[in-house]
Amino acid sequence: MKLAARVDRVSPSLTLAISAKAKAMKAKGIDVCSFSAGEPDFPTPKHICEAAKTALDEGKTRYGPAVGEPKLRQAIARKLNNDNNLNYTAENIIVTNGGKYSLFNLMQALIESGDEVIIPAPYWLSYPEMVKLAQGTPVIVETSADNDYKITPEQLERAITPQTKLFVFNSPSNPTGTVYTPAEVKALAKVIVEQDILVVSDEIYEKILYDDAKHLSIGSIDAEILSRTITSNGFAKSHSMTGWRVGYAAAPTEILKAMAKIQSHSTSNVCTFAQYGAIAALESSQECVQKMLTAFAQRRSYMHEAINAIPQLSCPKPDGAFYLFADISQTGKKSLDFCNELLETKQVAAIPGVAFGMDNCIRFSYATDMETIKEGIKRLAEFVAR
């Protein structure tokens, strides 16, 4: 059988492959310490589940508008105005099947053959694949640990060509946990406006910030940048709702209409009663978000110190998200070999940096309990020492 050529252009998700291998080992009764999770380890807060159950009981089980329930679009617009100082109305919002589909849909709406999309590395592994699936060309710009894995305005400007359409910006970042300061965000926005390109700001980790880190939504700076910004977000990471598949994009009207058209012929509306859970997530107390943050903060401090205490490993202190990105160059191993050997000999799962465009690093997720973290770090130290 001959499959479509686009299938060969993309790679399967390495994150999911290692996680699946770790899960299969666990299922066989093997004692695995997993740092591979890309999702919070907490259950979805009860009041959110209750709201979805009530919606189910009330018969909210039918097709809804493809762009999302009006009440949820309004609640999202309010949230973006209040929390992020982003001047959007409900008409600028599309509710999507997770933050992932908001990005995928955007690429379909915007990108075609010949278009270049600038992506700083290390990157979330789906970005380049989504660009390729839209026939576009990902332009990868490597950042370095010395600069906390941040792209500089000079690097961005140098990467721009007449073919550049879009810059993909992710702060706080997966896989590094890096958070750009408001001044750094403003400096990037200046380049974007001057060079007249678009930016998609993936803000899925905006609520997971440590110490005095501040999140600035790039679209909030002024009207010039807002007209060139698509903001992507969702409930998966902030409210531990990964399986619910509720995310959203906010965009200027013309782009929003294009995304609505694509959505109407692909996923249609997000599961109707799940959207009612999302309304509750936005409109009730945010105490649950704070509780998770407190747990993440403790683990992050512990992990950061423990990994830097292992000879041959080092990582910058992340300001956000729930990942640490450790440099393994001194071990002389490539990231995939390192992770495979670590899993096979010590039953510790981590994600190879090559999946994120950086082969001298590996990603540890600390979305797991302290006991697993302590045991996993101990085994990791033994592994590196050998």
- Determine the Cα angle at 123 with ends 26 and 6, to 5°: 85
202 near ligand PLP, judged by CB under 6 A: yes
Q: Mark the segment that binds ligand PLP (CB under 6 A) among 3-11, 41-49, 191-199, 234-242.
A: 234-242
Fill in the per-residue mask, 280 to 309: x = in contact with ligand PLP (CB under 6 A), - = not in contact. ------------------------------
236 near ligand PLP, judged by CB under 6 A: yes
User: Which contiguous run of DSSP H or E holds residue 82?
Assistant: helix 70-84
CB-neighbour burial class of residue 362 (10 A; exposed 0-12, middle 13-18, buried 19+): buried
Binding ligand PLP (rule: CB under 6 A), the pick from 22, 40, 79, 100 is 100
- What is the size of the binding site for ligand PLP (CB under 6 A)? 14
CB 68 → ligand PLP: shortest distance, Å? Answer: 14
Q: What values do phi and psi take at 132, rounded to 5?
A: -65, -40
**Residue whose CB is less far from ligand PLP, 93 or 204:** 204
Which among 245, 383, 230 is positioned nearest to 310, based on CA atoms?
Answer: 383
Cβ atoms 360, 335 nearer than 8 A: yes
The identity of residue 186, as a single letter, is K
Q: Mark the segment that binds ligand PLP (CB under 6 A) among 28-36, 53-61, 98-106, 279-287.
A: 98-106
207 near ligand PLP, judged by CB under 6 A: no
**Residue whose CB is less far from ligand PLP, 55 or 236:** 236
Please identify the residue of the shown chain whose CB is closest to the bound ligand PLP.
Answer: 98
Which residues are paired to 120 by β-bridges? 141
177 near ligand PLP, judged by CB under 6 A: no
Binding ligand PLP (rule: CB under 6 A), the pick from 74, 242, 286, 314 is 242
**Residue whose CB is less far from ligand PLP, 102 or 272:** 102
Binding ligand PLP (rule: CB under 6 A), the pick from 19, 105, 143, 170 is 170
**Residue whose CB is less far from ligand PLP, 104 or 333:** 104
Q: Which tokens is 269 given?
A: 């509306």
Binding ligand PLP (rule: CB under 6 A), the pick from 92, 174, 238, 365 is 174
Binding ligand PLP (rule: CB under 6 A), the pick from 40, 45, 64, 98 is 98
Q: Mark the segment that binds ligand PLP (CB under 6 A) among 21-29, 96-104, 272-280, 289-297.
A: 96-104
247 near ligand PLP, judged by CB under 6 A: yes
In the chain, beta strands by DSSP E: 33-34, 93-96, 116-121, 137-142, 164-170, 198-202, 229-234, 247-250, 323-327, 348-349, 351-352, 361-365
CA distances from 275 to 76, 155, 181, 188, 279 (A): 11, 40, 32, 34, 6
CB 15 → ligand PLP: shortest distance, Å? Answer: 10
Which among 247, 245, 283 is positioned nearest to 94, based on CA atoms?
Answer: 247
Cβ atoms 84, 245 nearer than 8 A: no
Residue 182 neighbours by CB under 8 Å, 6+ apart: 214, 216
Binding ligand PLP (rule: CB under 6 A), the pick from 104, 124, 322, 356 is 124
Q: Which residues bind ligand PLP (CB under 6 A)?
A: 38, 98-100, 124, 170, 174, 202, 204, 234, 236-237, 242, 247
